[in-house]
Structure 1
Amino acid sequence: MYSRIVVAVDSSHASNRALDEAIKIAKGSDATLRIIHVLDDLSVYLAANPYAGYYTGELIENLRREGAKILEQARMRATAAELQVETVLYDDLGLPVEERIVTAAQDWPADLIVMGTHGRRGVKRAMLGSSAEAVLRTSPMPVLLVRTP
């Protein structure tokens, strides 16, 4: 069915559920699982805080370390299921998260993207946007969105 599955993780409950689903699918189809974590673009934060520039390097290093921890925890869960697993940390802050996820899946190339979604509706969704929705709209390959209950 699927042979190369990308799952995006960020330590949220939604992404943990997405990882669980990706593991089930990969195990059932003997697929390789690529677990990715994308550092969020800091431009909004930097634009809003004139002093942030002094700490940008330290902040990015902290985000990288945290991202590596998230990936290691996810890798351990997937290897416990006896899957072929790769992890990749994307820290090139030039692309929006959703664009980086789609590009990463295309470049590998994956045949399925799995992501968690918070399932926000109405004003919250309009104000916060949805990376999952943007991936769903722009991805050339199938996308499985896993909602939190």
Structure 2
Amino acid sequence: MSKKYSRIMVAIDGSHEAELAFKKGVNVALRNNAELLLVHVIDTRALQSVATFDAYIYEKLEEEAHSVLDEYEKQARESGIENLRQIIEFGNPKPLLANDIPEKEGVDLIMLGATGLNAFERLVIGSSSEYILRHAKVDLLVVRDPNRTL
């Protein structure tokens, strides 16, 4: 039994495995003639100790996110993707990527890299991919780098 996906969300966090998820996402979107959503969540948990909602910091992070997503969008369009949108959100990436954004956008497939953080960060705050795996209500494809060593 094969399922046709219509709206595919790829979580982009700047990691190598997120880039691999993006490349697979482009291929899946092309095969399914689906809309591709490039999503980046700016993790405000890490900014709470900096300055209470310093607008400059948030603006700078948003500019950087747009720059990264613009490059991914360019690559996707060059590959033949016509239906594509960028989404940037502020907050906790785990619930936003697992439920909030997929529900709001009608996503039927989430694609993300297996590890976007280093080993110490995963130990301290936990793996986003693990959280999304346990909480997402739609299909999920976790992309791994076959050459990665732990």
Same fold by TM-score, threshold 0.5 exceeded?
yes
Backbone CA RMSD of aligned residues: 2.3
User: How far does the alpha carbon of each residue in 1:42-66 deviate from its partner, in whole angstroms, 9 at most, with x for none?
Assistant: x44433xxxx327822111110100
In the alignment of these two chains, the number of paired residues is: 141
Rounded to whole Å, the distance in 2 between the matches of 1:123 and 1:64 is: 25
Rounded to whole Å, the distance in 2 between the matches of 1:37 and 1:122 is: 21
**Alignment correspondent of 1:13:** 16
TM superposition score normalised by structure 2: 0.84
Listed as ranges, the matches of 1:68-87 within 5 Å are 68-83=66-81, 84-87=83-86
Conserved 8 A contact 1:10-1:70: no
Identity of aligned residues (%): 26
Conserved 8 A contact 1:119-1:147: no
**Alignment correspondent of 1:130:** 127
**Alignment correspondent of 2:93:** 97
* Structure 1 portions without partners, runs of 5+: none
Q: What is the SS of the residue equivalent to 2:137?
A: coil
TM superposition score normalised by structure 1: 0.84
Aligned-residue offset at 1:124: 6.3
Are residues 1:35 and 2:38 paired? Answer: yes
Q: What is the SS of the residue equivalent to 2:43?
A: coil
Aligned-residue offset at 1:126: 3.0
* Structure 2 portions without partners, runs of 5+: none
- Aligned structure 1 segments of 4 or more residues deviating by more than 6 angstroms: 119-124
Q: What is the SS of the residue equivalent to 2:22?
A: helix
Match 1:62 to one of 60, 63, 68: 60
